[in-house]
Structure 1
Amino acid sequence: MTSNYSLEAVNALDVASFADIFGDIAEHSPWVAEGAGLVRPFPSREDMISVFAQVMQAAERDAQLALIRAHPDLAGKAALSGELTEDSKNEQAGVGLDQLSAEEFARFTDLNNRYLESFGFPFIFAVKGATKFMILEAFEKRLNNDPEVEFQTALEQIARIIRFRLEDRVQ
């Protein structure tokens, strides 16, 4: 559901409706919206965004890891097979990842595989406003990160993705 809601309408939703409408904000992880929905009313959209990030950051490490692993590879197999969520599909298409040359696709595939092998979870990058070149540069740089630094970086990137998605849905 990608309708645009006023903050007043968001705050008036019952818990189940809130979870239904915003359950897909955090990729395949409705628990983030369920937790955020319990903190309403939100004084502002910025507060709403902050609460979603706080719920994610306060979760146990296993839940955080599952959230990270729920994200698809950038320009990966899920994109080719049409298995991306609507938000992920639109975000990746918005930066041209759905129109890579064969060479670019091979480079993304290699980087995705190397990253997954190094860290045990997919490379997360909030692509909105980026270019494929910026993404590739970040890939190369982050492959050298310490695993714990990269885990935290992935959560920070997910918080950015959540921000962009909520900004698109809530006035």
Structure 2
Amino acid sequence: MDRKAMMSLSTVNSLTPRAFLEAFGDVAEHSPWVAREAGSAMPFATRDDMILSFERAFRAANHDAQLALVRAHPDLAGKAKLTEDSTKEQAGAGLNTLDAQEFAHFTDLNTRYKQRFGFPFIFAVKGATKHMILESFAARVSNTPEVEFQTSLAQICRIFRFRIEERVSP
């Protein structure tokens, strides 16, 4: 089964645990445990219930598991190899077309941010422009570590929503 193909909620609800994991194990960046936990809440009454199941699974995890998922995300506009979803999302925000000055600005912010917080800057880029991302980046780098960690968790939950909405029809 093409795990990126749009499917109905009834199809999702008919998946075996293994097939659910194959279809949605990559929704949480390099962290299939989130889908495994979320799938245990099947059947879902609505697509939003499915999205909330991913969020609940992530938020119920211990701090170390949450931090590992945060750290599994790539730097925005970085040179690291990205997952298919991250590549598409960053390209949609124009991060694949930065000029040298913009790239240097992102690189500087990525470095300062990771030095301050110990994890990469997380921003659900779908629907955003590179200017919106830079503005948020510049503002968030002065947050307290706890505020920024919670902001990162919320952004990851937004990423779950966007990715599931692309794969499951309402």
TM-score (norm 2): 0.97
Q: Kindly provide the CA deviation profile for residues 53-103 of structure 1, in whole angstroms up to 9, marking residues without a partner as x.
A: 01000000000000000000000121xxxx100000000000110000000
Letter in 1 for 2:49: D
| Aligned mate of 2:113, from 95, 107, 115 | 115
State how 1:47-86 maps to structure 2 within 5 Å: 47-78=49-80, 83-86=81-84
Letter in 2 for 1:62: D
Aligned to 2:142: 144
Distance, in Å, in 2 between the alignment partners of 1:114 and 1:2 is 35
SS of 1:46 mapped into structure 2: helix
Q: How many residues align?
A: 167
Aligned to 1:32: 34
- Residue 31 of structure 1 deviates from its aligned partner by 0.3
Distance, in Å, in 2 between the alignment partners of 1:43 and 1:105 is 43
The alignment's C-alpha RMSD in Å is: 0.5
Aligned to 2:156: 158
- Residue 2 of structure 1 deviates from its aligned partner by 1.0
Distance, in Å, in 2 between the alignment partners of 1:115 and 1:166 is 28
State how 1:97-112 maps to structure 2 within 5 Å: 97-112=95-110
Aligned to 1:88: 86
Q: Give structure 1 stretches of 5+ with no counterpart.
A: none
Distance, in Å, in 2 between the alignment partners of 1:102 and 1:145 is 27
Distance, in Å, in 1 between the alignment partners of 2:122 and 2:153 is 8
Aligned to 2:166: 168
**Percent of residue pairs identical:** 63
Distance, in Å, in 2 between the alignment partners of 1:107 and 1:2 is 33
Distance, in Å, in 2 between the alignment partners of 1:149 and 1:56 is 17
TM-score (norm 1): 0.97
- Residue 36 of structure 1 deviates from its aligned partner by 0.5
Aligned to 1:44: 46
